[in-house]
Amino acid sequence: MAKDFEIPPLPKYIEIPSINEGAMKGEGPFKSSEEFQIPLGFPGEKVENWQDVAISKMGELKSKYRSVQVFLDVCVKCGACTDKCHYFLGSSDPKNMPVARQDLFRSVYRRHFTFAGKYFPKLVGAKDLDESMLDDWYNYFHQCSQCRRCSVFCPYGIDTAEISMAAREVLDAVGVGQKYCNQILGKAVTVGNNLGLPEPALRDTLIDLEEEIEEETGVAVKYPLDVKGSEILLITPSADFFAEPHIDGLIGYGKVFHQDGVSWTLSSYASEGANFGMFIGSYDVMRKAALRIRKAALDLEVSRVIVGECGHAWRVAYSFWNTLSGVGAGGSDEYSLKLQNQLDSRYPQPQHIIEYTYDLIKRDKLKFDKSENDDRTVTFHDSCNVARATNMGGIPNGQFILPREVIKAVCNNYIDMERETIKESTFCCGGGGGLLTDDLMEIRIKGAMPRMQALKEVEKTDGVDTLAAICAICKSQFSKVLPKFDFDPYMIVSVHQLVSDAIVLDKSHTIESGVEENIEEATQ
């Protein structure tokens, strides 16, 4: 996998490349093995009659998902999406054009399920599902981050993410899964988080974090774990517990909760916000992961569920939790009713941590020293899943407004990137959708080019030196790719890190108020 490749240059304006066939041809990411396939209910290796299995799975999926059925039929090949994918712009491989990526799947659909494709395959571009087609599926459906930018620009709203999820589901059904996603999912549905972090390790980490914060600020900000009867259950990506810069965001959440004086808790049973079940397109696996959160919320008897900074976690939480597990309003099944009975109906359930902090800011509950962030000029990267698949605050375009308002409340210098590269048109970081693995580094770097280009422009024109994001994958991806494009890898921060740096902590909330001043003096 360590093949040499060129880092794409960053032009002043993004030019649509001429197509370069086969530029990203390859074997795709590492394949999953029996060890990771079986626990998810997938065959351990490529099944004998894989063609039949694949075709019948396609048939099943198109009868279960209107999106798949309609999107496979209605594309007119107008070409509107062809220059919209960051992976195409960065790699120039035509199979990374959204329509061409879909056509890998669509051509097989036509061959097996449509009149024209059965009798006039050449005429309508219908193709058999042979070995090389399956290889192309595996390779190119793992060069899609399911960011849905193409769907914004499609006259019929065709969403390549839906097709790529379906294709990955078919691949899993024939026993050709991706190692990265399936290994992680195995841990998430048994241990409770993607890192496979058991309760004692998590507890130790949180204690260390508390000590660290108290040392630095003199204030005893707490990170409660499994505290029954807390008001808030925080569900956050497990990367927040360990990775940089994620952990500084977690510090920020803790400080905000501390300042609000609210009781809150993490759960060791449901210690993962990320839900990779979405990436592999499996409703069952996604639901299985989501049910842990329902159970944790019920067991811990919380009245609010809040989700930390994670893009697709927020998509699953905001758009799918109510469907999958009844966390939300309006359901009438047993669990929905139980949850509605327990959860505080004055708040939307679930809520995003940005919504929570924004609400406190609006109600003047938080004090900030904005000058703490004066050494920064900040821009905000709209994470694809948050931007295109969710809302915040219940107001139109709230998912674009609220994070910016929070940043502006804690920073004096804020600049947006080029309009065509933000909000609903945002460019993916390049690492989403199950691609955040080293064996896909080439496509990750090439796919980051459009975002890096927009960032380079605001760096030149406005001196932007800080890139804030609300997604664990974006943060990890940027840390890796920023230096490849001559940026400081530490310029990527959590939005709640900015909050954390500017927030004025109220010392009266601390338990040993006498000690704190000494510590503060000592640390200064």
Partner 1 sequence: MSVLSLVITALFYISFIIFVIGMTKKILQYWATPAPLKIPVAPTPLTRTGVVLRIIREVTLFESLFKSSKWTWIFGWLFHFGLFLVLIRHIRYFWPGEVPEIFLLVQPFKYGAFAMLIGLLGLMGRRIFVDRVRYISAPSDYIMLALLLIIGVSGAVMTFTSNHTDVVMVKEFASGLITFNWSELPTELQLLVHLLLVIILIAIFPISKLLHVPGVFFSPTRNQVDDARKKRHISSWALDQEKNNEVRLDQIMGEDE
Smallest distance from partner 1 to CB 189, Å: 5
From 251-259, 328-336, 459-467, 494-502, span contacting partner 1 (CB under 8 A): 328-336
**Among the listed residues 86, 137, 102, 139, the one whose alpha carbon sits nearest the alpha carbon of residue 430:** 86
Smallest distance from partner 1 to CB 157, Å: 4
Binding mask 339-378 for partner 1 (x = CB under 8 A): ---------xxx----------------------------
Distances in whole angstroms, Cα of residue 101 to Cα of each of 316, 440, 444: 24, 17, 17
Q: Which one among 30, 242, 283, 368 touches partner 1, defined by CB under 8 A? A: 283
Smallest distance from partner 1 to CB 413, Å: 27
Smallest distance from partner 1 to CB 7, Å: 23
Residue 226 touching partner 1 (CB under 8 A): no
Identify which of residues 175 and 245 has a Cβ nearer to partner 1 in the complex. 175
Dist. CA 356–CA 406, nearest whole Å = 10
Identify which of residues 324 and 454 has a Cβ nearer to partner 1 in the complex. 324
Two tokens at 144? 């899609």
Q: Helix 472-481 to helix 246-260 angle, to the nearest 10 degrees?
A: 140
Residue 463 touching partner 1 (CB under 8 A): no
Q: Which of residues 16-75 bind partner 1 (CB under 8 A)?
A: 16, 18-19, 39-41, 62-67, 69-71, 73-75
Instruction: Give alpha helix (H) positions in 411-504.
Output: 441-462, 472-481, 495-502
Q: Which one among 9, 22, 79, 514 touches partner 1, defined by CB under 8 A? A: 79
Binding mask 95-134 for partner 1 (x = CB under 8 A): --x-xx--x----------xxx---x-xxxx---------
Strands 304-307 and 264-265: unpaired
Over its C-alpha atoms, the chain yields an Rg (Å, rounded) of: 23
Binding mask 131-150 for partner 1 (x = CB under 8 A): -----------------x--
Smallest distance from partner 1 to CB 97, Å: 6
């900000």: which residue's tokens?
221
From 216-224, 279-287, 452-460, 503-511, span contacting partner 1 (CB under 8 A): 279-287
- Compute the residue count for the chain: 524
**Among the listed residues 100, 117, 96, the one whose alpha carbon sits nearest the alpha carbon of residue 108:** 117
Residue 322 touching partner 1 (CB under 8 A): yes
From 81-89, 167-175, 467-475, 492-500, span contacting partner 1 (CB under 8 A): 81-89
Identify which of residues 88 and 138 has a Cβ nearer to partner 1 in the complex. 88
Contact by Cβ (8 Å): 389, 148: yes
Residue 458 touching partner 1 (CB under 8 A): no
Q: Which of residues 387-406 bind partner 1 (CB under 8 A)?
A: 387-389, 391, 394-397, 399
User: What is residue 14's DSSP assignment?
Assistant: P
Identify which of residues 331 and 489 has a Cβ nearer to partner 1 in the complex. 331
């108020």: which residue's tokens?
513
Smallest distance from partner 1 to CB 28, Å: 21
The amino acid that residue 473 corresponds to is I
Q: Which one among 132, 190, 342, 523 touches partner 1, defined by CB under 8 A? A: 190
**Among the listed residues 61, 275, 46, the one whose alpha carbon sits nearest the alpha carbon of residue 169:** 61
Identify which of residues 307 and 493 has a Cβ nearer to partner 1 in the complex. 307
Q: Please, is 201 exposed, middle or buried when counting C-beta atoms within 10 Å of its C-beta (0-12, 13-18, 19+)?
A: middle
Dist. CA 485–CA 465, nearest whole Å = 14
**Among the listed residues 360, 372, 407, 181, the one whose alpha carbon sits nearest the alpha carbon of residue 262:** 360
Dist. CA 339–CA 231, nearest whole Å = 14
From 322-330, 363-371, 434-442, 460-468, span contacting partner 1 (CB under 8 A): 322-330
Q: Which one among 44, 224, 331, 489 touches partner 1, defined by CB under 8 A? A: 331
Identify which of residues 372 and 424 has a Cβ nearer to partner 1 in the complex. 424
Smallest distance from partner 1 to CB 466, Å: 25
Identify which of residues 39 and 224 has a Cβ nearer to partner 1 in the complex. 39
From 153-161, 243-251, 258-266, 481-489, span contacting partner 1 (CB under 8 A): 153-161
Smallest distance from partner 1 to CB 252, Å: 24
Dist. CA 423–CA 403, nearest whole Å = 11
Q: Which one among 1, 48, 59, 77 touches partner 1, defined by CB under 8 A? A: 77
Q: Which of residues 287-306 bind partner 1 (CB under 8 A)?
A: 287-288, 291-292, 295
Query: How many other C-beta atoms lie within 10 A of the C-beta of residue 332?
Result: 8
Identify which of residues 168 and 480 has a Cβ nearer to partner 1 in the complex. 168
Identify which of residues 25 and 460 has a Cβ nearer to partner 1 in the complex. 25
Smallest distance from partner 1 to CB 13, Å: 16
CB-based contacts of 430: which residues, under 8 Å, 6+ apart?
Answer: 86, 87, 90, 145, 443, 444, 445, 446, 447, 448, 449, 451, 477, 481
Residue 320 touching partner 1 (CB under 8 A): yes
Contact by Cβ (8 Å): 463, 165: no
Angle at 293 between CA 163 and CA 178, to 5 degrees: 35
Dist. CA 147–CA 267, nearest whole Å = 29
* Cis upstream peptide for 245 (omega within 30°): yes
Instruction: Give alpha helix (H) positions in 332-397.
Output: 334-342, 353-362, 384-389
Two tokens at 410? 């804690």
